[in-house]
Amino acid sequence: MAARCQVTGRTPGFGNQVSHSHRRTSRRWNPNIQRRRYYLPSERRFVTLDVSAKGIKTIDQKGIEAVVAQIRARGEKV
């Protein structure tokens, strides 16, 4: 599973891990990606989405139908 939210488009952030001695090594901050199943009443089927925690909140606010329409408008397959 890629570290990318299908709703918000969040991807990992990159930066440096700084130790006590101030030595820097590269690291990444992954978004909180969850695999969730949602029921689409219009199509009478379930869809599985890889969404971040903020993406789950967005689906709760806008509804699954509107969010799936946005994803398809971007050209992603659902």
Residues sharing a CB contact under 8 Å with residue 47, sequence separation 6 or more, in sequence order: 37, 38, 40, 64, 68, 78
Backbone φ, ψ for residue 7 (5° rounding): -95, -55
pLDDT per residue as tens digits for the range 17-68: 999 999 999 999 999 999 999 999 999 999 999 999 999 999 999 999 999 9
pLDDT per residue as tens digits for the range 1-16: 689 999 999 999 999 9
3-state SS, residue 14? strand
Residue among 73, 38, 32, 75 nearest 59 (CA): 38
